[in-house]
Structure 1
C-alpha cells in the first residue's frame, strides 16, 4: 500500500517521511485519533515505505519483516492453557486488510466469529513479538511491528511490551494505531512519539467520494457532512443494511416506548439488546450518544451543526424537542454509565431494562 492510497492526512504523511529523510526516525510511533480517520492506512503505508513500496511481498502485505499485532479472542477449539495470538487469526486479518485498511472494529470481530467475546491482546502476543523481533531482518533493513488498538492489551502484555520498547531490537520500528491512548500505561505513552491524526475535512471526504466511489456531487456533499470527519461513517452512509439502520430502528423503538411508558414492551426491547454481543451493545450505545447530541443540536435549527441521515432527520423533526437543556446532561450520564457497565461484563438485559426505565423519567423533563 502506498501513501497515495491514503485518504487525506497529507500533513502526517509528510511528517513521517521527513523523519526518515532527516535520519531521526524514532523506534516507536503512536498514531492517535478517532475511528475512520485513516490511522491504520497511514501505518501500513509507512511500513510499506520503510520496507520498499515496489517489493512484491510488501504489496501483498506478506513481507517477512512486517508483523501485525491486533486484538484476538479465544476459540472453543483452543486448549485451556493457550493464550491467543495474532498468528492464530493472521489469515482472517490478511483477507480483511487486503480489502482495504478502512474497517470498523466490529468488522474484525465478525471476521473472527467473535460472537459474545471481547477481543484483547494477550501476554502470549508480547512473547511472540519478542521472539519474532529478536531475529535478524530477512532483507537487511527495517523490521516493522504494527500494533492495532494497543489500548486493548491486558496488563501482563502491556508490561512485557514496555520492556520491549525500552530496549528495542536493532532496526525495529513500532507503529501503534490507537483510538483511546488514555487507556494505555503512562510508561508506554511516555516512550513513544505520539502523532495525532485529525478528523478528515468534509471537502477531503467529498472529493474522495466523487473520485474513488463515483458518487454524484449532491450526494457526496451530504454524505461528507454526515461523515463528521470519518471515512468509515461516509461508507456507512452509502451502505444498505448496515448496523446503522438496525441501531436507528432500536433507538426509535426505545424512545417511542419510553414516551408511551410501555414497560412490558421495554422489557422485550432490553432482552433484544441483551442478546447481542457486548461489542455490538457498546456500539449501539455510542450510536445513542450520537443521536442524543444530534437531536439536541437539531433544536437550534442550524444545518451546519447537524449530522444526520435523511431518515434520522425525519424522525428528529418531531422527536428533537424532547431532548433539551433540562435532560441532555442526565441522558448523557445515564448512557455513559450503561456503556461502562457493559464493558465490565454486567448482565446486558438488566443494564438495558434499567436504562429504559430511567429513560421514561428523563424524557418527560421540561
Structure 2
C-alpha cells in the first residue's frame, strides 16, 4: 500500500517519510489512533516505503520487486500478528493468514467486528495467545530473506494478555534491522510493560471534510448526505462507509421532521414514524438515535451562543438554527438527548423497536409541550 492511497493524514505521512530520510526509524513504534482513522493502512504504507528499492520524495515507487510483493502482502519479510479465535486447528495467526490477506486486500479500513465476521468465531473471545507470541519470536529470529528490514505489524496489541510479556526482550533488544509496528486504539488497555518499550505515534481522527469527500467520491451520496454521515461518524471512516452502504435516508430531514411532529402533537404521524423506524434494522436504528444525539448537542451550542463551534453542514445548520430559535430551549434539548441515550442503550439490548420508538415519540410530545415553562426549568419526566 502506498501513502497516496490513504485518506487524509498528510501531516503523519510527512512525519513518517521524514524519519526514513533522516535514518531515525525507531525499532518499536505504537501507532495509536481512534477507530476508522487509517492507522493500519499507514503502517503498511510506512513498511513498504522503508523497504522500497526506489523511494520517491513522498512515497514508495510501487513498481519495484519489493513494492509489488508488499502490494499483494506476500513479501517474505513482512509479518503480521492480530487477534484471532484459537481452536484445535488454529494455534497462531498464520493459520488464518489467507483470511487476513483477503480482508486487507479488499479494504484496509476495518474493525474487530468486521474481522470477526470473516472467521468462525462462535462464542469465543478473540485474543493474541502465548503460542502466537512464541511464533513471533521464532519468525523474527531468522535473517531477512530479501529486504533490508524485517517488519512485524501487530494489529490491536490490546488483545495481548499477560503472556505478551514473553515479547518484552524481543521488543527491547530485537535482532538487527527489525521493525515492530503496533497498531492500537486504546492506550489504557495495552500492557504497560510493552507500552513503555515503544515510541508512540499519535494519529488523529479524520476530519469531517475528509470523510465527506471520500463518501462523495465513492458512495454516490448527495453532498448533504455525505456531510451528515461525516458529522454523525465523527471521523470514523469505517462507520461512515457502513452508513453509506446500509442507509441512504436523509437522517437530518427524518430527525427534524420527527421533532416537528412532536412539537405539533401530531400523534398519527408519530405512530407512522414508529412503524417505519421499527423496520430499519438495529444498526440503522442505533445510527439514527446517535445522529439525533449529536444533532441536538450542536443545537445546544447554537442556543448557548457558541455557533462558531458548530460542525453541521450548511443546509442542516440552517434547519438547526430555526429549531433552536422557534422550538427548542436548552433544558428541552438536554431532556430529549437523555431520552435518546436511553433508547440507544435499550436498542443495543434488543428492546422491541416499535414499543421503544413509540415511547420516545410520546416523550418528545411531553418534553416539547413544556416550552411555556420559565427558561431554565428542569423538566421531570419518566
TM over 0.5: same fold? Answer: yes
* Partner deviation per Cα, 1:40-77 (whole Å, 9 max, x = no partner): 11011111112225322112111111111111113xxx
1:83 and 1:122 in contact (8 A); partners too: no
Alpha-carbon shift at residue 158 of structure 1 (Å)? 2.3
Aligned twin of 1:139: 146
The count of aligned residue pairs is 335
Q: How do 1:1-366 and structure 2 match up within 5 A?
A: 1-52=1-52, 53=60, 54=64, 55=66, 56-74=68-86, 78-79=87-88, 84-151=91-158, 153-210=159-216, 212-213=217-218, 215=220, 218-219=223-224, 222-223=227-228, 225-226=230-231, 227-237=233-243, 239=244, 242=246, 292-298=293-299, 300=302, 305=310, 366=379
Alpha-carbon shift at residue 334 of structure 1 (Å)? 7.8
Gaps of 5+ in 2: 53-59, 250-277, 368-378
* Partner deviation per Cα, 1:258-283 (whole Å, 9 max, x = no partner): xxxxxxxxxxx9xx99xxxxxx9xx9
**Residue 29 to residue 285, structure 1, CA distance change in 2 (3 Å):** farther
* Partner deviation per Cα, 1:246-269 (whole Å, 9 max, x = no partner): xxxxxxxxxxxxxxxxxxxxxxx9
Q: TM-score, normalised by structure 1?
A: 0.69
2:289 and 2:340 in contact (8 A); partners too: no
2:118 match: secondary structure: helix
1:83 and 1:124 in contact (8 A); partners too: no
**Residue 140 to residue 297, structure 1, CA distance change in 2 (3 Å):** closer
1:125 and 1:157 in contact (8 A); partners too: no
- Indicate the structure (1 or 2) with the bigger Cα radius of gyration: 2
Q: TM-score, normalised by structure 2?
A: 0.66
Instruction: Output the CA distance in 2 between the equivalents of 1:67 and 1:27.
Output: 15
Q: Which moved more, 1:50-59 or 1:217-226?
A: 217-226
2:215 and 2:226 in contact (8 A); partners too: no
Alpha-carbon shift at residue 99 of structure 1 (Å)? 1.0
1:112 match: secondary structure: coil
Gaps of 5+ in 1: 246-268, 274-279, 343-347
Q: Which protein, 1 or 2, shows the higher relative CO under an 8 Å CA cutoff with sep ≥ 6?
A: 1
**Residue 137 to residue 163, structure 1, CA distance change in 2 (3 Å):** same
Q: Which moved more, 1:37-46 or 1:49-58?
A: 49-58
Instruction: Output the CA distance in 1 between the equivalents of 2:78 and 2:239.
Output: 29
